[in-house]
Every structure is written in C-alpha cells, then in structure tokens.
Structure 1
C-alpha cells in the first residue's frame, strides 16, 4: 500500500514552526508557506493544474489531520480545522468565552477519515478532482458572501434568522432613499439580506 509517510516528517517540522508564529491561519497560506520553504512535494506542484492543486490540498489536510491526532496524544495543543480557518490552541491556556472552541464539544470529524487515507491521494481521478474543486469553491464563495453580508448588516456571524430580519428592517428604514438615506448603502443592505435568505 502506498503511503505519504516519507513526506510527513519535514512537513510536520515546518508546520510546528509555522504555527508557533501564526497560530491562526488558512489552507492557502499554509500551502504557500510550505511551497516557499521548498518543502517536498509542495515545491513541485503547479497550483494552476487541477491535479496538482488537489494534491497540494490533500497532502496539506492529510498532514494537518495527522498533526491534530498527534496533538491529541500529547495533550499540548488542539488543532481546529475548518474550511477557511485553521487554528492551533494551547490546551492549558484559558480559552476566551467567545472562542468557538469554548462551547463546542469535540465530535468526530467526517473529513478526518477521508484525509487520513492516503489512497485518496493516489487514486482520485481527474473528473472527481474537478467536481471536488468546483464544490469547494462554491462553499468557499458562499462562506465569503455570508461573512460580507453579516458585516454589511453589522451582525455577528452566528446571528439567527429572526435577528437578521430585525436588523435588516432597522437598517432599511434608516437608509431608505425615500427617508433621506443613501441609495448605495440601501442597495447593499438589500443585497446582503437577499444573500443571507439564500443561505438560511
């Protein structure tokens, strides 16, 4: 069975250093860092190519999930892996109440088993890669749209539908052009509400 083990030690070493400097990051910056540091095989990938993009993504996530498992064993850090945010937290450090880890019980991550299986790295076909990348970008763009919409409405990212509606009505009333408000701002508020309606 083919494995990715030969790559893991130098990647782990570099990730340890990276997280000591940047405990909060994202996949793009991590891949860029590994590439800039000439870590194999990232230094050979051309991210303009779907296959290489998938390989870089998979290997990055494969290493991160192994690192997460390692941290769980050593009980020194926790590694939180999300679609657009990766964060290393010191376990014995007091976590602020507003931190997502504070009130989130540890659950089984369904993606872990996928990324921890190196056969997906070697056997995933071109058409599967294309579909996965399209799906990823749809989710990524949806997250980006959601974040921007909440910012426009001056709401926290975890606001519920009722809060969104109330805030929208408040802002729409304030910025409505017929009430002397700014037409451009009003348009952005309406678009933000429409974007959130699609996601809720």
Structure 2
C-alpha cells in the first residue's frame, strides 16, 4: 500500500492528469481498464512503475486508485464541457459533450459504486478478506486478459463489444454448430465454454458485491 496520505494525494493527482491525457489523445475510442493500466505502466507515461503488484493488496490498490481517478476525472470532463466519461472495467469511453444532456450525465456520482470509489477511505479500510472477494469476482480480466479475447475470438467477435451483442452471437453460433444440426460436439463445447467465460467477466464487471 502507499506509505502515507501525501503519497496517495500525489499519485492521484498524477493519475488524473495522465489518464486525461491518455483518453484525449488515444487513437482508440474505447479502452479497457487493463489496456489503460498497461499504457500507464509504459515508458511513455511511466506513472505506475514504482508500485508493486505482486500481492492482492497491491492489486486492489491499483484498481481502486484507477477508478477513484476515473470518477474524479468524469466530473472534471463534464465541468470543462469536454464530454461524459463512461466507466467500466471493459469500457472506458469518452462521449462528446452535449449541452442538453449535461444534467442527465451527472447521475454517475450518485451511484453506490461511484460513491465507493470516490471515498478514498475505502482504500484504507477495506479488509483483506473483502479485497480477496472483490478480486476473485472482478479482476479475472486483468489477471487473465487473454481469456477474454480468446473467448471473443471463439464467438467470432472482437472488442469492444457489448454483452447483449455477445449473447446474440452466442445463440446464433450455438444453433449453427449444434450436433443435431450437423455441427460437432467439440465445436459446441468450445462455444459454450467461451460463453461461460464471458458470462463470468461481464456479469461481474460492475462489482455487484458492493452493497
């Protein structure tokens, strides 16, 4: 964990500033949390190089600081009339600002998840047992990002893609490759396993365990 509040405040300021630069200059319209972290760790930005992530506490700290910074940045971008920042582990997207939508888009700060991440005390007070539970349900994409991409490939999809689109494509392929319709058992199993993996990732992406 960070050694003191001053270190935490300094890192959060740096993260907000760097993440803003990344989002505004990225050639990709959508970033996943994993992609964002990799960019922050790169030589170009070198923002997270001094942090260690070899234990669950450090991994949780990383995730919490990223989301704390994203939710702070979400309000900043709205105040500056730049746009609305959509935030989820698999979908960090900046939507251009529209004057008539500004009031509607401020709702995010009122959600339980946003309140959780905006309260920096949760970084200090979350117990190891709670951390392990959150990481188990939430960080599958970070720990094994290839599983997410491989599963999409089996379903003949590429990121970014919505959960609804995944379900539609799964039903289509499951019907097409069903053994009773001339498909093979092996292919059907691959499709089912890919969907099971994606179900696990997408259904847990909003940290449903936070009450």
TM bucket normalised to smaller: 0.5 to 0.7
> Normalised by the size of structure 2, how large is the TM-score?
0.64
Name 1:85's counterpart in structure 2. Answer: 91
Which of 1 and 2 has greater Rg?
A: 1
CA displacement 1:90-142 (0-9 Å, x = unmatched):
224xxxxxxxxxxx99564321100000101122222221121112146888x
Q: Distance in 1 between matches of 2:166 and 2:55?
A: 39
Name 2:64's counterpart in structure 1. Answer: 58
Name 1:12's counterpart in structure 2. Answer: 16
Q: Distance in 1 between matches of 2:172 and 2:121?
A: 48
Q: Distance in 2 between matches of 1:89 and 1:20?
A: 11
Closer/same/farther in 2, CA of residues 179 and 137 from structure 1, 3 Å limit = same
Q: Distance in 2 between matches of 1:106 and 1:44?
A: 34
Q: CA RMSD, aligned part only?
A: 4.2
Q: Which runs of 5+ in 2 are unaligned?
A: 99-104, 204-211
- The number of aligned residues is 181
Could you say which structure has the greater relative contact order, defined with CA pairs below 8 angstroms and 6 or more residues apart?
2
Q: Which runs of 5+ in 1 are unaligned?
A: 93-103
> Normalised by the size of structure 1, how large is the TM-score?
0.67
Query: Aligned to 2:58, what secondary structure does the other structure show?
Result: helix
Q: Distance in 2 between matches of 1:197 and 1:57?
A: 21
1:47 to 35, 50, 53: 53
Closer/same/farther in 2, CA of residues 20 and 72 from structure 1, 3 Å limit = closer
Residue 86 of structure 1: how far off its partner (Å): 0.8
